[in-house]
Structure 1
């Protein structure tokens, strides 16, 4: 077995053993960053890195003390592990059809976020329920790193944007999210099989890594018959 030398890897391995052994129930809330930092005598940044490893392994889904969470039919979805995984956790079967993966310039996004290069990888996907009903259009823009520039040719890692970002060393840590309603344009209505002008929820989420590197700008159109947004505050 390879030696685990990094502090955050040792912490992640220790917590993973506790989860897999049943000492900590899978999916249960772990102690806060401050408490874990004291327990392992490390910084909070090291704890965040350890939690990112556990999230990548699918053992936990970390949440901030306050924030916003998307609900599907009243059930909370944690987008940190990807919506396909989050929906599956609630027994909701969906399938994604990739509409586009392309390397494109987005000077507006680069200007808003202060990115050095305007180039991003654009990913557009249509989500459908098992009966074929289209419930969302999900569009992401991720950094055009050298390890990601061939993504239009090779496709996503196991069909997952989250897994693709992890492979490139981009682990989502914190985000800002906005929600509003707006009518579908003609192209969107055609993809979703709805009349043009139908109102959908429009979400925008910008995510960064623990060291504040831009990781993803996600733009979604969600069927309000199924999706809503829940705001939580405090612990």
Structure 2
């Protein structure tokens, strides 16, 4: 009996090898495949990763996005706290709390029932510039984070130590007006418009590494998209 993941890999392989899915033709989207095979998007990503390793598909090269703070690029792979420090910014990071939570949306997408949420506030001269909630699966040593805390104060180092290494993901950018709680923490007016960034990172198996939702001061943070070859 084949698993749904194995069936997905087999079906797509057959479509590609028999030419029914022509060279250069775009694959169905993750959501479409997840609905068709009744699996999570994480399972779809894992199947696509295997097809890429088999050299049956390839991802589009030269496409990416990055965040800048006052025009200086921030490397999200090392964490914004370190990136801001490396850029010489006087921004400080305050850990607001670490707690175990349940997240129905993440459970439906990745299958894990419990998660750990890490909330951080960044200030410059006592004025809040970003408010962030990072959610990671409560598995292995990550499940103990509410008691043990972050490794060297860094979530990036903590994830690496737990063997959770991101190989890709997606990011959505929108805007959001501050509610009373966020406004109080940031020292801003209720209803002030902030950028909202939601970034989901996965490992090579398609399992969740972290989902980060950030509220960012639009006067200080910008998003830049690159594509093709420059």
With normalisation by structure 1, the TM-score equals 0.70
Match of 2:131 in 1: 137
Question: Does 1:68 pair with 2:88?
Answer: no
Equivalent residue for 2:183, pick from 189, 195, 198: 189
Using the TM superposition, give the Cα deviation of residue 116 of structure 1 relative to its aligned residue in structure 2, in angstroms.
Answer: 2.2
CA deviation profile, 1:4-45 (whole Å, cap 9, x unmatched): xxxxxxxxxxxxxxxxxxxxxxxxxxxxxxxxxxxxxxxx97
Q: CA–CA distance in 2 between the matches of 1:106 and 1:65?
A: 33
Using the TM superposition, give the Cα deviation of residue 216 of structure 1 relative to its aligned residue in structure 2, in angstroms.
Answer: 0.4
Question: What is the aligned residue count?
Answer: 171
Match of 1:220 in 2: 214
Using the TM superposition, give the Cα deviation of residue 80 of structure 1 relative to its aligned residue in structure 2, in angstroms.
Answer: 0.5
Using the TM superposition, give the Cα deviation of residue 106 of structure 1 relative to its aligned residue in structure 2, in angstroms.
Answer: 0.6
Equivalent residue for 2:202, pick from 208, 219, 232: 208
Using the TM superposition, give the Cα deviation of residue 182 of structure 1 relative to its aligned residue in structure 2, in angstroms.
Answer: 1.2
With normalisation by structure 2, the TM-score equals 0.71
The 5-angstrom pairing of residues 101-180 of structure 1 reads 101-111=98-108, 113=109, 115-129=110-124, 131-180=125-174
CA deviation profile, 1:45-98 (whole Å, cap 9, x unmatched): 7xxxxxxxxxxxxxxxxxx72111111111111101100111122111322111
Determine which structure has more spread, i.e. the larger CA radius of gyration. Answer: 2
List gaps (5 residues or longer) in structure 2: 1-51, 54-60
Root-mean-square deviation over aligned CA pairs: 1.5
Q: CA–CA distance in 1 between the matches of 2:83 and 2:215?
A: 17
Q: Secondary structure of the equivalent of 1:191? A: helix
List gaps (5 residues or longer) in structure 1: 1-43, 46-63
Q: CA–CA distance in 2 between the matches of 1:135 and 1:205?
A: 18
CA deviation profile, 1:137-160 (whole Å, cap 9, x unmatched): 011000101211110011101111
The 5-angstrom pairing of residues 43-62 of structure 1 reads none
Question: Does 1:232 pair with 2:210?
Answer: no
Q: CA–CA distance in 2 between the matches of 1:185 and 1:120?
A: 24
